[in-house]
Amino acid sequence: MTSLAAIDHGGATLARPRGVPVKWLADRAIWFAVFLGGFVIFEPAPYELFLAMLFGIWAMSNMRLPGTVVPLLVMFCLLEAGGVISSFQIADWGRGIRYVAVSSFLALSSIFFAIVILEDMGRLRLIFRAYVVSAAITTLLGIIGYFGLLPGFEIFTRYSRAMGAFQDPNVFGPFLVPPALYLIYGVLNRSTTMAPVRIATLLVLLLGLFLAFSRAAWGLFVVSAAVFYLLLIINAPTARDRLKYISLAVLGTAVLVIMLAGALHVDAVYSLFEQRFKAVQDYDAGRIGRFARHMLGYELSLTKPLGIGPLEFGYIFGEDTHNNFVKALMDYGWLGFFAWVGMNVWTLVAGFKLLFRPRPWLPYLQIAYVVFLGHVLIGNVIDTDHWRHFYLMVGIIWGCIALEHRWQSEHRPSGMQRRGSARSDMGPASRSVASA
């Protein structure tokens, strides 16, 4: 990056690129980083390598951490510190340190996205558009592989389930939920010219979500979509808009039911759906099943306050924790557990306060928030602590929290001239983001 203009934000200095060429390159780099998030079939994935490069470029460009994001950084530092301490509880402490290093990188990605969003809130639109393109391509790979449409594409499936360019269908499915919600919002509120493209892309993502046969992904979509739609209805400016939302919800639900019925006419699909649709699988129940292991983990934590070492739980009990809170206790100790809980609670509470304020970034915040809430819920039955898109949602929420803090500072009553200037400055950017 070349020249940078510093702006003061709540006592913290934040570097902002100056000049159209630099800004254009910065935006394209962020777009490409988000796009790479859909292709993690091997590790380290291109996403990590490219994002690590961006970290270095932004750091050398005199980037400063805004004060509003400091609490998130502190909680992540405490989490990783707990992980380091826990790593030394096992003989192969290097394995634990490597795991914590990945966790630290993902935590930094949240901080990074929060900062670049605060630099320019127009990047929210850019991030979600890149996410949609990435999700559409990786979903098509999974669909082609699932139905055997092209030779060699079976690598994008596993256990007769679509997984796209991921290593696990249970990660691929949840990855599709944020872009699906973004497309739903676009169909409801954006130009009808692009509606056919948005609808077609949405149907592709929903088919991929279904073919992942992930109960966590299905539950995440249902909960996130329901809460998001409720927020849209509550925030609708007129009764006519509310009626539109309700009518389209009924229509959309009918279309999904028809699609589901059509898919279930395929014997292989019906057989796997019948098996996966059970609320409790064989490996969930039993003396050493998923839920029994949760209780064993909580009991073990009472005598192991420093944790037992990252990934050690799986070696002891034969399966991973499949619970974020048990995992925090086992892999990061009590210190990491309270930091993890604190991060979740702080994000939920701080984000909730902003869900009903008319701001240009509101749709993006609402999508990230409901998806984050859904991840907190499904985190009771599956490990999400290394899911890249989860940290992207955290970064978006905290970026919007920082934007709100700046909004409040610029609109604080301190003279008519300053208020007028603030509104003038916010206007163009608001229109830019609102055209998502």
pLDDT in tens, 401-425: 999 999 998 887 755 444 444 443 4
For 70-84, 96-110, 129-143, 262-276, which range has the lowest pLDDT when averaged over its residues? Answer: 262-276
Name, in order, each residue with C-beta under 8 angstroms of 212's C-beta and a sequence gap of 6 or more.
Answer: 142, 161, 162, 163, 169, 170, 172, 173, 176
For the residues 331-359, what does the mean pLDDT come to?
A: 96
Name, in order, each residue with C-beta under 8 angstroms of 363's C-beta and a sequence gap of 6 or more.
Answer: 185, 189, 436
Residues 166 and 254: their CA atoms lie apart, in Å, by 30
Three-class SS state of 91: coil
- pTM of the predicted structure, to 2 decimals: 0.86
Beta bridge partners of 16: 5
Q: What is the pLDDT of residue 278?
A: 63
| pLDDT confidence tier of residue 5, bands split at 50, 70 and 90 | very low
| pLDDT confidence tier of residue 279, bands split at 50, 70 and 90 | low
SS3 content of the chain, % helix, strand, coil (to 5): 70, 5, 25
Residues 316 and 306: their CA atoms lie apart, in Å, by 17
What pLDDT, in 10s, does the model give residues 212-234? 999 899 999 999 999 999 999 99
Does 12 score more than 60 pLDDT? no
Q: What is the pLDDT of residue 4?
A: 34
Q: What is the pLDDT of residue 295?
A: 87
User: Whose CA is closest to 85, among 339, 298, 307, 329?
Assistant: 307
Lookup result for tokens 């962020």: 30
Does 104 score more than 80 pLDDT? yes
| pLDDT confidence tier of residue 181, bands split at 50, 70 and 90 | very high
| pLDDT confidence tier of residue 357, bands split at 50, 70 and 90 | very high
Do 26 and 61 form a contact (C-beta atoms < 8 A)? no
| pLDDT confidence tier of residue 284, bands split at 50, 70 and 90 | low
Q: What is the pLDDT of residue 320?
A: 83
Considering only residues 371 and 276, tell me which one the structure prediction assigns the higher pLDDT.
371
| pLDDT confidence tier of residue 268, bands split at 50, 70 and 90 | low
Residue 243 C-alpha from the chain's centroid: 30
